[in-house]
Structure 1
Amino acid sequence: MDSSETYWTDRALLEWQVELGATDAILDAPVDRYALEAVKAAPKAATPPTPTAVAPVQAKTPEVDAVALARAAAQTASDLAALSAAMQAFEQCELKKGARSFVFCDGNPAARVMIIGEAPGREEDRAGRPFVGRAGQLLDRMLEAIQMGRAADDSARSVYITNVLPWRPPSNRTPDKAEIAMMLPFLERHISLADPEIIVLMGNTPCQALLGRTGITRMRGNWTEVLGKPCLPMFHPAYLLRNPIAKREAWADLLALNARLRG
């Protein structure tokens, strides 16, 4: 086919397309409009979400069961010296960080009577012994009145003294329930190892720890039982210093204690 024939053929095709309605030349190849419509009608594939940065999950530090740790440490103590060492090594009680001294006990460990107070005060924290301040001096005079004392060699007339807490609370505040519960396993082991015949609870804190209740003005003078042992709640000597009128009731309680020992 010569060039002239090609020209006329191409022109005829172009005129034919114009007659069909074509106005502009866009592509070199024809477009299948039916195929385009099918593509538009087809459902679009879901676009995967753009991943976002996720902060790493911090593993929670397991909470320490201080009471369980205290119970385990206390049970390992086979004697009073081992119990003292276990308590001094116990790191869960925050009071230890602010106290000067560890206050464990005083008196005769073989005594028939074990006196339990609240916690060391300023003088006890300095001396490392329980009941050595003004309240302790009053306690000594009270015991002397019934021919007893912490320095007595005779176990029948001596006393053994300790506290619910071995460290001084800041500003001599009252120990809170968590501190009492934390140190209670040590106190219970202390009673078991000392094995007194009679327990004297002086004040609300030891009553709360071992009897589960407070209200020393109602409980004092009423014999009860703690860990299978006779127990007598009494006013704390510090309370008697603030309320001298209560010394009459304290004297009655001392006489009751003396009668129980002699009976």
Structure 2
Amino acid sequence: MTPDSAPTVQQLLAFYLEAGVDCALTEEPVNRLSDPDIGAAAREAALPKPVRTIPAVIAAPRVEAAPAPEAAILSAREAARTAPTLEALRALLEQFDGCALKSTATRLVFADGNPQARIMFVGEAPGREEDIEGLPFVGRSGKLLDRMIAAIGLDRTSVYIANVIPWRPPGNRTPTPQETQICLPFIQRQIELVNPDVLVTLGNPSTQTLLSTREGIMKTRGRWFDYETGTRVIRALATFHPAYLLRSPSYKRMAWQDLRSIAKTLEQAQTTSSS
């Protein structure tokens, strides 16, 4: 595209997607300058303003600082610890303002599935479809996850699904380490309250966050870990995120091996509990 040529619709859409704009808020575009009051204010704002000096005796407006990350993490830990049930934990997250992602997301994406499930899947963060519907794993990767769990005789009524981050990062960007640490106490409490027999971390970010490892998913997938809740040790396995499998379908064979290992462990746990 030359500097003098106008961009095509496809080029504009590609630009918006790169900038993180991937959904419309209304059916029709809104010309906010058409409003007489707003238009006048905008025109006035565009005019040059005379320079004014502020007397030294007049204090500058006080700007409230955002809570420090350490304070937000501490607040999250204290709040999560007080939740006696999943319903109470969800209510706490709805009221929690310590994570900036809440202000840019459409809604909280807490969980889906059966709270009494023996197996819990945890991903990293919601995407566009999840942000719209308020449920985890409902887009393309969610449909693949449904097929994955169906391959071992399960469905969403027999599993529990959540994310480390319950709010969508703008433009599906990677959550920052601070955002992850702020949200971590809530997902830890969520796992503790569900109390599954098997915990499955989907992808590298959730695996490294929950299983306290710095190794990549290629080294951790298929390996069993002990996940400590403070009251119980839960068997945990890392595997590929469905979104990664959509981009790299050649790894589906390894994911199938992980699923078979999960099914075997669930069967063993059932046998142990019934004996």
Which category of TM-score, normalised to the shorter sequence, fits these structures?
0.7 to 0.9
**Paired residues of 1:207 and 1:214 also in contact (CA < 8 A):** no
1:164: which partner in 2? Answer: 164
1:69: which partner in 2? Answer: 75
State which structure, 1 or 2, has the greater radius of gyration over its C-alpha atoms: 1
Aligned mate of 2:119, from 105, 113, 123 = 113
Matched to 2:222, the amino acid is G
1:125: which partner in 2? Answer: 131
Q: Aligned to 1:142, what secondary structure does the other structure show?
A: helix
**Paired residues of 1:99 and 1:168 also in contact (CA < 8 A):** yes
The Cα of 1:262 is off from its aligned counterpart by 1.1
The Cα of 1:208 is off from its aligned counterpart by 2.1
**Paired residues of 2:119 and 2:196 also in contact (CA < 8 A):** yes
In the alignment, the residues of structure 2 paired with residue 62 and residue 114 of structure 1 have an alpha-carbon distance, to the nearest angstrom, of: 34
**Paired residues of 1:93 and 1:182 also in contact (CA < 8 A):** yes
The Cα of 1:214 is off from its aligned counterpart by 4.3
1:22: which partner in 2? Answer: none
In the alignment, the residues of structure 1 paired with residue 145 and residue 130 of structure 2 have an alpha-carbon distance, to the nearest angstrom, of: 14
**Paired residues of 1:74 and 1:189 also in contact (CA < 8 A):** yes
**Deviations for 1:19-57, whole angstroms, at most 9, x for unmatched residues?**
xxxxxxxxxxxxxxxxxxxxxxxxxxxxxxxxxx9999x
In the alignment, the residues of structure 1 paired with residue 210 and residue 226 of structure 2 have an alpha-carbon distance, to the nearest angstrom, of: 9
Structure 2 matches for 1:195-210, cutoff 5 A?
Answer: 195-210=195-210
- Per the normalisation by structure 2, the TM-score is 0.70
With over 3 angstroms needed to count, the CA separation of the structure-2 counterparts of 1:85 and 1:247, relative to structure 1, is same
Matched to 1:218, the amino acid is K
* Percentage of matched positions with identical amino acids: 51
Structure 2 matches for 1:1-263, cutoff 5 A?
Answer: 64=68, 65-151=71-157, 158-212=158-212, 213-227=214-228, 228-263=233-268
Structure 2 unmatched ranges of 5 or more: 1-55, 269-275
**Paired residues of 2:124 and 2:164 also in contact (CA < 8 A):** yes
Matched to 1:165, the amino acid is I
Q: Aligned to 1:193, what secondary structure does the other structure show?
A: helix
**Deviations for 1:30-89, whole angstroms, at most 9, x for unmatched residues?**
xxxxxxxxxxxxxxxxxxxxxxx9999x9x969541110001111111100000010111
**Paired residues of 1:175 and 1:205 also in contact (CA < 8 A):** no
**Paired residues of 1:205 and 1:214 also in contact (CA < 8 A):** no
2:6: which partner in 1? Answer: none
With over 3 angstroms needed to count, the CA separation of the structure-2 counterparts of 1:162 and 1:62, relative to structure 1, is closer
**Deviations for 1:107-155, whole angstroms, at most 9, x for unmatched residues?**
000000010011100000011000000000000011111101112xxxx
CA RMSD in angstroms, aligned pairs only: 2.1
In the alignment, the residues of structure 1 paired with residue 227 and residue 162 of structure 2 have an alpha-carbon distance, to the nearest angstrom, of: 15
